[in-house]
């Protein structure tokens, strides 16, 4: 086989791989809403197909099972979310501004994206029992921790402060507040967003302190 023929075959192979990945992304996007509304335990590939334009056979061709599809869905959603606060970090000109805008943004996503956040926590809980989820969950968790740490370090820098804890602890504290607020939000407590905003603002002030 000539080098030209080999190059052509490689290009065709890459296009086929790209098309396959693009199709999987389309299917994951279509399935995301159903999974977010019903949760992992109550959703099957057949039910996802019934709530989308794709057949059960098509879903099963691109995903071996529900676990693989769920992981793809959450990965796709988190790819957009892990930079959620970066614009706020870049735009802030003072520690007070960053504190205000960050806490407001957390409250806003609680109100507008509650089903999607619920899906993430569902997957994280499932990973305690389903080994095939764990590597992906740990990777997503790492990216989320890094996102929060960018907020903390910029807040400290703007205020002439120093981080008072580790990235893991800072993430655990803020994530715990958010998960608790999400439960209250899903339970219909209208004040959940306001309380989250106040709590995040208060806690952020303890995560960076005067150096020395």
Query: Which 3 state secondary structure label does DSSP give 209?
Result: strand
| Pair 30, 53: CB distance under 8 Å | yes
Task: Give residue 37's pLDDT.
Answer: 79
Report d(CA 167, CA 170) in Å as an integer: 5
Where does a domain end: 40, 65, 90? 65
Where does a domain end: 21, 38, 65? 65
Task: Give residue 19's pLDDT.
Answer: 80
Average pLDDT, the chain: 86
- Asked whether the whole model's pTM tops 0.75, one would answer yes
Torsion angle (degrees, nearest 10) of CA 123, 125, 131, 137? 50
42: containing domain: 1-65
Neighbour-count burial of 149, counting CB atoms closer than 10 A to its CB (0-12 exposed, 13-18 middle, 19+ buried)? middle
- The torsion region of residue 123 among left (phi > 0), alpha (psi -120 to 50) and beta comes to alpha
Task: Give residue 81's pLDDT.
Answer: 75
Same domain, 101 and 147: yes
Residue 138 predicted with pLDDT over 70: yes
Task: Give residue 192's pLDDT.
Answer: 97
Residue 124 lies in a domain: yes
Residue 32 predicted with pLDDT over 70: yes
- What is the domain count for the chain? 2
Domain with residue 54: its CATH number is 1.10.10
């Amino acid at each position: 086989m000539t080098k030209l023929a080999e190059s052509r075959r490689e290009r065709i192979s890459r296009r086929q791989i790209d098309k396959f990945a693009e199709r999987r992304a389309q299917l994951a996007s279509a399935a995301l809403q159903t999974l977010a509304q019903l949760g992992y335990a109550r959703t099957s590939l057949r039910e996802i197909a019934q709530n989308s334009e794709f057949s059960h056979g098509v879903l099963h061709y691109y995903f071996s099972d529900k676990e693989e599809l769920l992981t793809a869905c959450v990965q796709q959603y988190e790819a957009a979310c892990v930079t959620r606060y970066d614009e706020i970090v870049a735009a802030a000109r003072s520690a007070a501004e960053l504190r205000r805008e960050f806490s407001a943004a957390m409250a806003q996503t609680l109100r507008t994206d509650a089903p999607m956040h619920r899906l993430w926590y569902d997957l994280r809980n499932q990973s305690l029992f389903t080994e095939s989820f764990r590597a992906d969950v740990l990777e997503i968790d790492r990216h989320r921790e890094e996102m929060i740490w960018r907020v903390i370090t910029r807040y400290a820098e703007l205020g002439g402060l120093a981080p008072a804890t580790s990235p893991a602890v800072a993430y655990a504290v803020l994530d715990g507040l958010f998960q608790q607020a999400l439960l209250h939000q899903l339970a219909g407590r209208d004040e959940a967003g306001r309380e989250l905003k106040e709590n995040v603002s208060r806690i952020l002030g303890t995560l960076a302190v005067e150096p020395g």
